[in-house]
Amino acid sequence: MSATEIDFYELLEVERGADDKTIKSAYRRLAMRYHPDKNPGCQESEAKFKAISQAYDCLKDPQKRAAYDRYGHAAFEQAGMGGAGGAGFSDIGDIFESIFGSGFAGGGRQQARRGADLRYDMAVSLEEAFHGTETSIEIEVSQTCEPCGGSGAEPGTGTRRCNLCGGVGRVRAQQGFFMVERTCPTCHGRGEVIEAPCRACGGEGRVDKPETLEVTIPPGVDTGTRIRLTGKGEAGPFGSPPGDLYIFVHLKRHDVFEREGTTLVTRVPITFTTAALGGEIEIPGVDGERLTIGIPAGIQSGKQLRRRGAGMPVLQGRGRGDMVIEITVETPTKLSSRQKEILRELQSTETGEECPQSLGFFERIKTAWSDLTD
């Protein structure tokens, strides 16, 4: 049985829109079923195993899969995409590699590909961002297969030189006027092929496992801060180096403070008597201490008071930002009879000079009205 005779998706028994995880799971299941070691001497099982391996090699690669979805098996024929005689996207990339170089020494074997980087989104409280914290996270990540040590070969077996490329990891094909050099589709640039794929990883050299990691959150982090854990990403194929894990910090909403860089902003309502006479208010700082804020007499709504050095710490630096207290003067909605009486007495003594902004406003109104009536 040849993989070119049957649709790759049918070979792996998945739908065309299947995601990478579903395709990978289907391949592992079928590889275990048709592995030559489980079916010794059965040529049909061996052919089936090779066919599903070829199908998986294509569908696990985003570029190859896109080409296959568009052109079918013709995408990988020597004549080009669907016999059109033109170069596809991967061919164009290979042309540029041939001209400018691609990290291949003298057209030799492909250098080891580093594993993929991973992203983890972490929500932290304002207090944790202020003090810094130690926490643990659990992720599922591809790790080097222990039985085969990442080689992809069944323990006790080895590899042989690739017959298609002769062990150099690259093959050449004519593309119209161009001679295109590309990665060998059989060995994927390694120059070697696995004789007996590892049962544990299906020849991948990697397996998905849960892992618990300790993460240090430094003081001063903010939304958008990235923390890099070197070597904690996906394991590279066939024992190549792993990628990195990036922790993206997201700050949780706080009940009292809003953050603007290293500045903390809070809005505090005060009574109109405190606004008129002045006084003091207490605010809990994010560091746990209580801050006493003096209110000057005659303060207006919207006025901002600043406490230096009471904000957030500078990330990987020294010092702290400021705290800004925005005052809102609150008008009482429930008054006792005695309070109303006191206010009426106050009202009867007002001359207008107590509130210069109001006086100025009404003077402007009078001027505008007289201009209209003249």
Task: Tell me if 32 is assigned to some domain.
Answer: yes
> Is the pLDDT reported for residue 75 higher than 80?
no
The pLDDT value recorded for residue 357 is 66
Tokens of 185: 């589709």
**Based on the domain organization, do 143 and 218 belong to the same domain?**
yes
* pLDDT recorded at residue 18: 86
Q: Confirm whether residue 58 is marked as ligand binding.
A: no
* Mean pLDDT (whole number) for 73-85: 48
The closest of 244, 210, 213 to 137, measured between CA atoms, is 213
88 — pLDDT class (breaks 50, 70, 90): very low
Is position 145 annotated in a ligand binding site?
Answer: yes
Task: Read off the pLDDT of each residue in 248-263 and give the average, rounded to a whole number.
Answer: 94
| Residue 42 marked in a binding site | no
**Residues 113 and 244 grouped into a single domain:** yes
Q: Which domain does 330 fall in, by range?
A: 258-373
Residue 338 is encoded by which pair of tokens? 């005695």
Q: What is the pLDDT of residues 180-215, one digit of tens each?
A: 788 888 887 778 888 888 888 888 888 888 999 999
Residue 292 parent element (H or E): strand 290-295
In a domain, 37, yes or no: yes
Percent of the chain at pLDDT exceeding 70: 80
Q: Give the DSSP per-residue string, 154-194.
A: PTT--EEE-TTTTTSSEEEEEETTEEEEEE-TTTTTSSEEE
**Does 210 share its domain with 330?**
no
Confidence bin at 78 (pLDDT 50/70/90) = very low
d(CA 183, CA 170): 5
Q: Are 38 and 30 in contact (CB under 8 A)?
A: no
Looking at the structure, do residues 113 and 213 belong to the same domain, yes or no? yes
Domain shared by 207 and 268, yes or no: no
Let me know whether 112 and 246 are in one domain: yes
Cα–Cα nearest to 236, from 213, 205, 212: 205
Residues 132, 222, single domain; the answer is yes
Give residue 360's pLDDT: 58
Residue 361, pLDDT > 80, answer no
Question: Within a domain: residue 89?
Answer: no
Same domain, 297 and 366: yes
Check: CB of residue 263 under 8 Å from CB of residue 313: no
- Note whether 154 and 120 are within 8 A (CB): no
Taking 3-state DSSP, the helix, strand and coil percentages for the chain, each rounded to the nearest 5, stand at: 30, 25, 45
pLDDT tens for each residue of 99-154:
334 443 334 444 557 888 999 999 999 999 999 999 999 998 888 888 888 888 88
Domain count, the chain: 3
Instruction: For residue 239, give the DSSP letter.
Output: G
Does 355 belong to an annotated binding site?
A: no
Residue 117 sits in the same domain as residue 26:
no
Q: Considering 251, 266, 288, which residue would you say is the last residue of a domain?
A: 251
Question: Per the annotation, does 162 bind a ligand?
Answer: yes
